[in-house]
Amino acid sequence: MRYSTLSVLIPVPRSVTENGEKLFFRSLRFFRSFSEKSLAAQEKLVSFFAYVGNPLSEGGPEEPCQILFQPDPQLRKEEWKIRITSEKIEIFSGGEPGFSYAAEALMQMLFASLREGPREAWLDGGEIFDAPRFSYRGFMLDPARHFQSVATVKKVLSLLAAFRINTFHWHLTDNQAWRLESAIVPELAGKGTLDGGFYTKEEVREIVSFAAKNHIGIIPELDMPGHSGKILSAHPELACDSSHPGSEYCLGNPQSREFIKRLLDEIMELFPESRIIHLGGDEAETSAWEKCPRCLASLKEKKLKTMRELENAFMTDMTRYIVSCGRTPMMWGTCSGQVYPKDTVLQAWLDIREPLRIAPHGNKVVYSVHTSLYFDYPASPAEPQESWMFELTEKGVYMTDPFILWEKELANVMLGPEACLWTETVPDWRILPKLLPRLSAYGECAWSENSKKDYYDFARRKAYLEAAGYYEYLRK
């Protein structure tokens, strides 16, 4: 059975209208652009046509049957439209991301048309319009446990771009490792607990450039005040007990704040285009603070009652520093019930009601609840897993809705979702296998209108594209 090539797209688009015409694949030889914003999209299509043995080149106005890139001031930068007739393909957008997303969609349709070979392959005619449900569509990768090579990070970014994911949260520090070349902590480079490896400044710039070319913004993370064991092993004087530094900075030591601000300066210099800086902020233990003379003195001086309140004061100071540098602070949502300034983005991960608790305080929210969006959780019972992990199938990811039942209550604060891949049991060579079974389901969750989603229709579209070789193309 041959499905219409207009009905195979992942993520599912806003609207599709068929016109009954056909455009034969072999007639597509040329493209022409009327917008400088389509350069990345042109490169994607030229690469695809070379892959399938039907070279595409830039043509003049006299060439027949062209792919035309047209600017449309009525469309926003991520919105796009494709119009297919028997004579040409017109791609419209208001910006570079939209042109690239349209090129990705066209490649899916072309793969579907080629499922039975190029001889009689054709595209069905019609018009497609698409726009994102959420402006923030994120994915977090954790190199702090197991390190990922530059090549792997680029492959991940390419996959994110294919499914319209526009934000890459990079968890670069934790108890196990510090993964950046640094003039402040040079002794930590490559000394991870689970494996070695670190990113030189030149490699970071290379990744930043590659992400930008794929219309993906990067959020670097410096985790604090907990999850800091690797740094404190090199600077035990910043812990409550220098003989047993543990994983938490000393909240009562002014040097902790100044040291962290120096690290943040270095990170912001390395990521000049990153508007959001993630500060971690969760799962800190209070036991060392409760026995620490400096923390107890600071608690009394600030007239606070609990160490969670002192932690809040410490992290609020860090967020104010980020704001003073012209950036936006972001933190993991916490279990402690503390309130942070409303210009701080909070990432809800613990349970589905966390956004409801955050919303009254005015903070923007990113939805990453672990039972739905932690990709380290096993997709099948055979995968490595911890005792607390749920089985997270493709369908489980697909059924995620950041609003749950509370769209009205969360409409003004919800930025969008973010899937996360922690790597305690995921070395470099297992990254892509952990992503591809579920990433396209997440892409549709993040991009498409809820009313357009249907898991069984998604499964049909995915199976059709797999049979046509699309996912093999993504792996390569």
Q: Is the pLDDT of residue 336 over 80?
A: no
pLDDT of 63 reads 84
Q: How many percent of the chain have pLDDT more than 70? A: 99
Q: Is the pLDDT of residue 310 over 70?
A: yes
**CA separation (Å) from 53 to 84, 117, 180?**
22, 11, 41
Q: Is the pLDDT of residue 119 over 90?
A: no
Tell me the angle at which helices 455-468 and 431-447 cross, rounded to the nearest 10 degrees: 130
Pull the structure tokens for residue 475. Answer: 């792996």
So where are the chain's domains?
5-132, 138-447
Per-chain mean pLDDT for the chain:
96
Residue 130 in contact with residue 104, Cβ under 8 Å?
no
Helix, strand, or coil here: 130? strand
The sign of the dihedral angle between the CA atoms of 213, 216, 217, 221 is negative
From 192, 154, 158, select the one nearest 172 (Cα to Cα).
192
Report if pTM > 0.95: yes
pLDDT of 451 reads 95
How far, in Å, CA of 136 to CA of 447, rounded?
9
Question: If pLDDT is split at 50, 70 and 90, which confidence band does 335 have?
Answer: low
pLDDT of 384 reads 87
Residue 141 in contact with residue 421, Cβ under 8 Å?
yes
Phi, psi of 148 (to 5 degrees): -110, 135
Rg (CA), the chain: 24
Let me know how many helices (H) and strands (E) the chain has, helices first: 16, 15
Write down the architecture of domain 138-447 according to CATH. Answer: Alpha-Beta Barrel (3.20)
Question: If pLDDT is split at 50, 70 and 90, which confidence band does 1 have?
Answer: low
pLDDT tens figures, 3-44: 899 999 999 999 999 999 999 999 999 999 999 999 999 999
Q: How many percent of the chain have pLDDT more than 90? A: 93
Does the domain at 5-132 match CATH 3.40.50.2000? Answer given as no
Q: Is the pLDDT of residue 100 over 70?
A: yes
pLDDT tens figures, 352-371: 999 999 999 999 999 999 99
Q: Is the peptide bond before 225 cis (omega within 30 degrees of 0)?
A: yes
Question: If pLDDT is split at 50, 70 and 90, which confidence band does 476 have?
Answer: confident
Token pair 């009954």: residue: 20
5-132 and 138-447 have identical folds: no
How far, in Å, CA of 13 to CA of 112, rounded?
16
pLDDT tens figures, 35-49: 999 999 999 999 999
Residue 113 in contact with residue 25, Cβ under 8 Å?
yes
Strand segments, DSSP code E, in 152-308 are: 167-171, 217-224, 276-280
What is the number of residues in the chain?
A: 476
How far, in Å, CA of 54 to CA of 49, rounded?
5
pLDDT tens figures, 226-246: 999 999 999 999 999 999 999
User: Residues near 231 by Cβ (< 8 Å), separated by ≥ 6?
Assistant: 173, 178, 185, 188, 238
Residue 251 in contact with residue 295, Cβ under 8 Å?
yes
**Residue 156 identity:** V
> Residue 334 has what DSSP assignment?
-
User: Residues near 304 by Cβ (< 8 Å), separated by ≥ 6?
Assistant: 310, 313
- Pairing between strand 80-84 and 122-130? antiparallel
pLDDT tens figures, 259-308: 999 999 999 999 999 999 999 999 999 999 999 999 999 999 999 999 99
Helix, strand, or coil here: 42? helix
Question: If pLDDT is split at 50, 70 and 90, which confidence band does 192 have?
Answer: very high
Question: If pLDDT is split at 50, 70 and 90, which confidence band does 52 have?
Answer: very high
Average pLDDT over residues 399-423: 96
Q: Is the pLDDT of residue 91 over 90?
A: yes
How far, in Å, CA of 8 to CA of 462, rounded?
8
By CB atoms closer than 10 A (0-12, 13-18, 19+), residue 102 is buried
Pull the structure tokens for residue 70. Answer: 């047209």
From 143, 157, 289, select the one nearest 223 (Cα to Cα).
143
pLDDT of 338 reads 87
Question: If pLDDT is split at 50, 70 and 90, which confidence band does 103 have?
Answer: very high
